[in-house]
Amino acid sequence: MEDTIAAISTALGVGAISIVRLSGKEAIQIVNEIWKGSDLIKSPTHKIHYGKIVEKEKEIDEVLVSIMRAPNTYTGEDIVEINCHGGIATTNKILELVLEHGARLARPGEFTERRFLNGKIDLIQAQGIKDLVDATTDEKRALAMNQLNGKVSSKIENLRQEILEKILAQIEVNIDYPEYEDIEQLTNEQILPELKNIKNKMQDILKESKNGVMIQQGIKTSIIGRPNVGKSSLLNALLGEEKAIVTDIEGTTRDIVEGEIVISGVPFHIIDTAGIRKSEQLVEQIGIKKSLEMIDQSELVLFVLNNHEKLTDQDRTILKKIENKNKIIIINKTDLKTNLEIDQLPKEECVFMSTLKEQGLDDLKEKMKELFHLEKIQTEDPTYLTNANSISFLKQAIASIDQAIDGISKNMPIDMVEIDIKKAWDELGLIIGKTYQDELINQLFSQFCLGK
């Protein structure tokens, strides 16, 4: 019989509650042994109990315990989930306790593996589950569900079909029936535009998928600007809470502060940075360096300027640096007299605000939405890849097509070049589960975080 496995199934350090989960025949028995409360052995399925986890009469934590009996559970086996309230130390302690009482620490992905083994899901669905579990917004959930439904595959399948029909089949027929004069011989000159066309389509999917990933992972947004232009106030206004320390002394915000705002279902991860200025102070310099790096890493830059002050050389440097980025120039402090050379700024990308008077926040949100065509991303019925694994297969397929193009330009025989085209075809197949690779299953299960 299968042994009982246990793991902390929430990411450590995130959230107030963490869950220790057990799956297997002895799951209920084991928890009951370290439990003070109603007898769990007698508990009906799918019931939550309040009680205490104890170690030799010593109370460890006040918890809620869910009892779920086979077969209608995640893994198809008996499952117990302990909702702990304590921090990391307490959660670890509880895990240790269940391990002491006979459970075995689960390998990465083992819960899902058991789910899969017990026929709850197929391989493709197993990938989707991770996304579903990780989904924190309705749109993310829709994306994750989409993978379960297999809707993603139709675009990929069409591409595969195109490669198969227009290129592979043609090459093969030329090889197998060389003397059939009526069948056109596919030449390197003909194949090149076909390949480029297919590559473009693959890149389109990749681009759309990156948008899809943004929905899942959030758009990295940095707030930059000289000290005391109101970056922290802006962050607080966006987040609606006092996260950053707001003072009117220059350079008080040195640490990068993170927060998340959801606009039209898309999370923006907002990062406040230390003011960028030419500073003699060592600490500030580190902050500035970080800020400059942050511009490179950001998908959106909110560049804050003070309405009351003229543009400095530093501002112009930054404007230059962010020229080709997704950006919004925020002209803050409109409650003060305008000294800024507004006519020198790209008007389309400017938003006027007064964080002090709480003006202009809606305009900013509207602009953010506009900038990422959030209306256009079909969050209701997405048909792009959302899973990092799938996206990397797509990238590999594009690389294979590139190699084929390279081979053709080097005048390699077409039947040699075909090996790369076939590879691209196989790689697309991997996304939709049409070709099988030994590594796929190992990769899948090891990629899963502990528990789920």
Partner 1 sequence: MMYDCIVVGGGHAGCEASLAPARMGLNTLLITGNINNIADMPCNPSIGGSAKGIVVREIDALGGEMGKNADKTQIQMKMLNSKKGPAVQALRAQADNIVYPKEMLKTLKNQEHLTILEGMVEDLEVEEKKIKGVILDNGEKIFAKSVILTTGTYLKADILVGDTRHREGPHGEKPSQHLSDCLKKLGFQIIRLKTGTPQRIEKDSIHYEKTKREDGDMTPYAFSFDHEPNYDVHNQIPCYLTYTTETTHQIIRDNLNKSSMYGGLDDIKGIGPRYCPSIEDKIVRFADKERHQLFLEPTSLQSNEIYIQGFSTSMPHDIQEQMVHSIPGLEDAKILKYAYAIEYDAIYPTQVKQTLETKLIENLYTAGQINGTSGYEEAACQGLMAGINAALKIKGKEPFVLKRSDAYIGVLIDDLVTKGVKDPYRLLTSRSEYRLLLRHDNADLRLREYGYRVGLIGEEQYQKFVQKKQQIEQMIQRLKNHKITPATQVNEYLSQIPTAQLKDGITLYDLLKRPEIQVEHLKEFIEIKEQPEIVEQVQIQIKYEGYIQKAKREAEKMERLENKKIPENIDYQKIKNIASEARQKLEEIRPTSIGQALRISGVNPADISILMIYLKKGEKK
Binds partner 1 (CB under 8 A): choice among 81, 113, 139, 284? 113
Using an 8 Å Cβ cutoff, are 275 and 227 in contact?
Answer: yes
User: Quick one: which segment of 90-98, 171-179, 188-196, 296-304 binds partner 1 (CB under 8 A)?
Assistant: 171-179
For partner 1, the closer CB: 234 or 417 = 417
Tell me the number of residues near partner 1 by CB under 8 A: 38
User: Quick one: which segment of 13-21, 37-45, 136-144, 170-178 binds partner 1 (CB under 8 A)?
Assistant: 170-178
Binds partner 1 (CB under 8 A): choice among 176, 248, 313, 323? 176
Q: Is 57 in the site for partner 1 (CB under 8 A)?
A: no
Among 224, 188, 216, which residue's Cα sits nearest to residue 421?
188
Closest distance of CB 353 from partner 1, Å: 53
Q: Is 193 in the site for partner 1 (CB under 8 A)?
A: no
Q: Is 376 in the site for partner 1 (CB under 8 A)?
A: no
Binds partner 1 (CB under 8 A): choice among 54, 388, 441, 449? 441
For partner 1, the closer CB: 65 or 417 = 417
Using an 8 Å Cβ cutoff, are 369 and 375 in contact?
Answer: yes
Binds partner 1 (CB under 8 A): choice among 55, 310, 436, 443? 436
Query: What residues from 273 to 302 belong to the interface with partner 1 (CB under 8 A)?
Result: none
**Strand 257-263 to strand 266-272: parallel, antiparallel, or no bridges (unpaired)?**
antiparallel
Closest distance of CB 182 from partner 1, Å: 6
306 Rama sector, left if φ>0, alpha if ψ -120 to 50, beta otherwise: beta
Q: Is 420 in the site for partner 1 (CB under 8 A)?
A: yes
Using an 8 Å Cβ cutoff, are 91 and 75 in contact?
Answer: no
Q: Is 174 in the site for partner 1 (CB under 8 A)?
A: yes
d(CA 399, CA 404): 9
Rg of the chain, C-alpha, whole Å: 28
DSSP states of 162-205 as a string? HIIIIIIHHHHHHHH-TT-TTSPPP-HHHHHHHHHHHHHHHHHH
Q: Is 175 in the site for partner 1 (CB under 8 A)?
A: yes
Q: How far is CA 377 from the centre of its chain?
A: 16
Q: Is 157 in the site for partner 1 (CB under 8 A)?
A: no
Q: Is 433 in the site for partner 1 (CB under 8 A)?
A: yes
**Phi then psi dihedrals of residue 248, to 5 deg:** -105, 15
**b/e for 298-335, b at 16 or more Cβ within 10 A?**
bbbbbbbbbbbbebeeebeebbebbeeeebbbbbbbbe
d(CA 223, CA 351): 14
DSSP 216: H
For partner 1, the closer CB: 96 or 162 = 162
Closest distance of CB 346 from partner 1, Å: 47
User: Quick one: which segment of 208-216, 302-310, 355-363, 434-442 binds partner 1 (CB under 8 A)?
Assistant: 434-442
Binds partner 1 (CB under 8 A): choice among 36, 46, 180, 281? 180
Q: Is 78 in the site for partner 1 (CB under 8 A)?
A: no
Q: Is 447 in the site for partner 1 (CB under 8 A)?
A: no
Please list, in sequence order, all residues whose beta carbon lies within 8 angstroms of the beta carbon of residue 404, skipping any fewer than 6 positions away.
Answer: 195, 417, 418, 420, 421, 424
d(CA 168, CA 155): 18
Binds partner 1 (CB under 8 A): choice among 17, 48, 123, 286? 123
DSSP states of 68-110 as a string? E-TTSSSSSS-EEEEEE-S-HHHHHHHHHHHHHTT-EEPPTTH
Cβ-based neighbour number of residue 57 at 10 Å: 6
User: Quick one: which segment of 42-50, 327-335, 364-372, 408-416 binds partner 1 (CB under 8 A)?
Assistant: 408-416
Closest distance of CB 433 from partner 1, Å: 5
Q: Is 1 in the site for partner 1 (CB under 8 A)?
A: no
User: Quick one: which segment of 216-224, 306-314, 332-340, 427-435 binds partner 1 (CB under 8 A)?
Assistant: 427-435
Query: Interface with partner 1 by CB under 8 A: which residues?
Result: 113, 116-119, 122-124, 172, 174-182, 407, 410-416, 419-420, 422-423, 433-438, 440-441
